[in-house]
A and B are shown apart, each in its own frame.
Chain A
Amino acid sequence: MAKRAILGFLTLSLVVAAAFASFYVVPMERTMGPIQRIFYFHAASAWAGMTAFMICFVGNLLYVLRRQQKWDWLGVSAAEVGLAFTTIVLITGPIWARPVWGIWWTWDWRLTSTFVMWLLYISYLLLRTLIEEPDRRALLSALFGIFAFLDVPLVYFSIRWWRTQHPQPVVMGGPGSGLEPTMRKVFFFSVLAMHLLMILLLSERYKLEKMGGEVEDLRREAEA
């Protein structure tokens, strides 16, 4: 109980500090003005989401090899949390693009590959709802999850390559590209804060999954 409270408090303070830093510590960006500050939120969420999907992949792999329920719980929790962060990226991207470019969506390679990755993990969750038997569901979704994660770098690479041949406006400069030192420090601080938030959400979601397992066991016991 105390551990969770500490984690929650730490996360909250870091997130608030990162937001504060992104508004007051970082100098004003020359061309875009204040809207550029959303970059710290947007890009940091992207990195945290990616880490969550990596954790999902590890969970999937370990479930297939070890068949322990906890890895399935980790997989689904990490996928959902990763999806939450990825949704943030897809929402803040257009909100950034609109004042800067005048359009909501440009098939910018980063946003587009993020969109495809989002679709892949939505499919992962949808697959799970369509298989009733828990062990089968865990195994088949883990296998799909492995294939999906292997696809992610291929998606990024192919879309990026394709876009360099058919250029479109880029929504943002990449993390670290043309970032002066203060900006870079605040960015990494934001990434840290977002990762902490991701771990907090992941542990809560995992607890939910674990409790679901307990309910199932109790239900079976009650029926026996």
Chain B
Amino acid sequence: MKNFDSIFAAYLLGWAVFFGYYLSIGKRLSTLRADIERLKSSVGRGK
């Protein structure tokens, strides 16, 4: 198929951007969730 590399590259790069973005959000979400747990327990202890 003519220009197969280009189509392949385009879709690969495109979806890589979306997946990368989605995964980065997921990672930040789990860090924050851990933070919330930690803070909730320290607030609980303080009270």
User: Are chains A and B touching in the complex at the 8 Å CB cutoff?
Assistant: yes
User: A interface vs B, CB < 8 Å?
Assistant: 19, 33-35, 37-38, 41-42, 45, 80-81, 84, 87-88, 91-92, 95-96, 98-99, 197, 201, 204-205, 207-208, 211-212, 214-215, 218-219, 221-222
Residues of B contacting A215 with CB < 8 Å? 32, 35-36, 39
For the complex of A and B, list the 6 residue pairs with the smallest distance between their C-beta atoms, beginning with the closest. A218-B39, A35-B3, A95-B10, A33-B2, A99-B3, A211-B32
Q: Residues of B at under 8 Å CB distance from A?
A: 1-4, 6-7, 9-11, 13-14, 17-18, 21-22, 25-26, 28-29, 32-33, 35-36, 39-40, 42-43, 46
Closest-by-CB residue of A relative to B39 is A218
A91 and B7 form a contact (CB under 8 A)? no
Docked pose: A197 CA to B22 CA in angstroms: 10
Interface secondary structure of A, over-half rule: helix
User: 18 additional contacts, CB 8 Å, given A84-B18, A215-B35?
Assistant: A19-B11, A35-B6, A35-B7, A42-B10, A80-B21, A81-B21, A88-B14, A95-B13, A96-B10, A98-B6, A207-B29, A208-B28, A208-B32, A211-B29, A211-B36, A212-B32, A215-B39, A222-B46
Query: How distant is the Cα of A116 from the Cα of B25 in the complex, in angstroms?
Result: 26
Q: What is the CA–CA distance of A207 and B26 in the complex, to the nearest angstrom?
A: 10
Q: A92 contacts B14, CB within 8 Å?
A: yes
- Cα(A41)–Cα(B17), bound, Å: 13
How near does chain B come to A27, taking the closest CB pair, in angstroms?
15
Task: Tell me the smallest distance from the CB of B28 to a CB of chain A, in Å.
Answer: 6
- Distance between Cα atoms of A174 and B39 in the complex (Å): 52
> Within the assembled complex, what's the spacing in Å between the Cα atoms of A163 and B18?
31
- In the complex the two chains form, what is the Cα distance from A207 to B30 in whole Å? 11
